[in-house]
Chain A
Amino acid sequence: MKRSWLDRQGSLAGVLVLPAALLVAAVLAYPIVRAVAMSLTGLVLSDPSSGTWVGLANYLRAFRDPEFRMALTRTLYFALATVPVETVLGLLIALLLNQRFPLRNVVRGLVLLPWALPYVVNGTMWKWIYDANYGVLNALLVQTGLAKDYQIWLGQPTTAFLAVVAANVWKETPVAVILLHAALQTIPSQLYEAAMVDGATVWRRFTAITLPMLRPVIAVTLAIKTVWAIKEFDLVYIMTRGGPANATNLLTYYTYLTTFKFLRFGYGSALAILLGIVAFVVAVIYVRTLGSQEVEA
């Protein structure tokens, strides 16, 4: 039987992969290469004479830029305030959803609501809840007697930061729930049965079976969540625009301002690439130290 050219594995693979490869090259690979090239120039969009090669000057400048360092520190705080909370809360909810109770499937579906909500709607919704004059949070606190006066939640550095953290926790916890819940269901029930025969307590079963079995997934969850915290832009843009007094000016927002407000494309590209490197390093560290390199949940 004569085989056509297309019937060889290599050629068929080539034909099938080609459209995806071309698209990825155009919308992903090319921009990345261009971003690196741009980061080595002093390009400022509003200044046509700019754009000369400056080598690593933009990167060196970033380390001396006090605002960048502040944004880096703030992003670190933001990650520390959101990621552990979302992961622990996610684990608790996943364990809860594993119990028997009426309407369990409905509740499991409900957990997807914050995930499915558009980021912008989430930001607008919380901004409205926190509103200083008409916000439902103020109304709730005052009407129940928990607070005396209406507070300007988004107008004070500390409360604004915490308000963004709380909005992020509400939106992002479901993903941790889903990853951990899926992993919980893959733990063989025989392990628990054997432990019960041996008289192990609930706590002991949790620490000796559940936690070790979940370790790789917890590592992936922490890694993804940290990368997302580093990427956070939408909430900051909608709720606070980085304010007040830069209290919520996180890395991605600072990079956005540098690039699109001050039009420093060269320096902005360098900041964006540093951001990418930070995200990548964090993800690798988590997965290397905590789990196997299994990426599937």
Chain B
Amino acid sequence: MRRHVAQAGVLLAVAGLCAWILAPFAWLVISSVSTRIELTSVPLRWVPERPHFENYVWILTGGPGATSVHRSLQRSAVNSLTVAGGATIVSLVAGAMASYAFARLRFRGRDLALGGLLMTQLLPAVVIIVPMYAAVRALHLLDTQLALALADVAFILPLTTWVLTGYFVNIPRELEDAARVDGCTRAGALARVVLPLATPGIAATGIFAFIIAWNEFFSAFILSSTLRSKTMSVVIAEFSSKLGVDYAAMATAGVLTSLPPVILAIAFQRYIVQGLTAGAVKG
């Protein structure tokens, strides 16, 4: 009997937890398929009469009915993908190389550098954004995807290096030693033995890095003023003040921007948890 009561309590708490997590996002999804009239009626109609997917179609494919709002969202999606993808690849390649050295090789300054990597996660982005803005302006790189990607690298590269060092440490050293006895050089053993074994870890770290880069707002917001480089986050931030009337379009943009990180996070749950616990980072 007591066990049943306890089990019922657990289930009730789980239901409450799920409601708390899902309700706000569910409302965003419902808003995105409602009409403006339904959303602005008082008392509120909770569920639209029939779902309207027009905003999704307009943002994703354009077509008649699409406004400049929809077109700028479409353009910014390309920017988001390029910036986050570029930052992820650079952070992953440079990070994987460095982390192998941190995990396996002894060299001067190793411990200091590893400690420094963690310290960067304490650094507020606002500290480096002013000089970065000045430098980017001097180099005529304002409003470029390159500048935004490099700004992301500042915080993501230390993170990927830190997380990947953990993966490399866990690859048995004996495998490498065996390869070297067979005549491989250190670099050869790294390329032929260690890298293939580390691939799952590198892929997982890449997904983690991509989510953080995709969600980044502050530096993208400071470094871009036109649609040449504005990411989805930046465009949505503008709407929330400028076009605060078209709630359905705004909600649709929000849902679409959330889909890549949310789907990746839930699909690769286990790796995301590993990345978070190793890096304990916000981005």
Residues of A at the B interface (CB closer than 8 Å) are: 4, 6-7, 9-10, 12-14, 16-17, 19-21, 23-24, 26-28, 30-32, 34-35, 38, 93, 96, 99-101, 105, 107-121, 123-129, 133-134, 136, 139, 142-143, 150, 170, 175, 178-179, 182, 220-221, 224, 227-228, 230-231, 233-234, 237-238, 241, 252, 255-256, 259-260, 265, 268-269, 272-273, 275-276, 279-280, 283, 295-297
Task: Indicate if the CB atoms of B21 and A110 lie closer than 8 Å.
Answer: yes
Nearest-Cβ distance from residue A274 to partner chain B, whole angstroms:
10
With A96-B13, A109-B265, A295-B280 given, name 10 new contacts (CB 8 A): A23-B157, A115-B276, A116-B272, A124-B237, A139-B42, A142-B43, A179-B276, A221-B280, A272-B127, A279-B124
Residue tally, chain B, CB below 8 Å to A = 100
Which residues does chain A contribute within 8 Å of B131, judged by CB atoms? 30-32, 34-35, 38, 269
Rounded to whole Å, the gap between the CB of B116 and the closest CB of chain A is 8
| Assembly CA distance A9 to B187 (angstroms) | 10
B199-228 CB mask vs A (1 if < 8 Å, else 0) is: 000000000000100110110011000000
Cβ contacts under 8 Å, A114 to chain B:
21
CB distance from A216 to the nearest CB of B (A): 12
Interface of A is mostly: helix
A120 touches B185 (CB 8 A): no
Q: Does B242 contact A (CB under 8 A)?
A: no
Q: Are A7 and B186 in contact (CB under 8 A)?
A: yes
| B residues 106-147 touching A (CB-CB < 8 Å) | 106-108, 110, 113, 118-135
Say whether A6 contacts B282, CB under 8 Å.
Answer: no
Closest to A234 in B: B217
Given contacts A124-B240, A127-B240, contact A139 B261 (CB under 8 A): no
Interface with A: B53-61, B89-97, B171-179, which one?
B89-97
Known contacts A12-B187, A31-B132, A117-B258; A93 and B127 CB within 8 A of each other? no
| CB–CB A129/B124 < 8 A | no
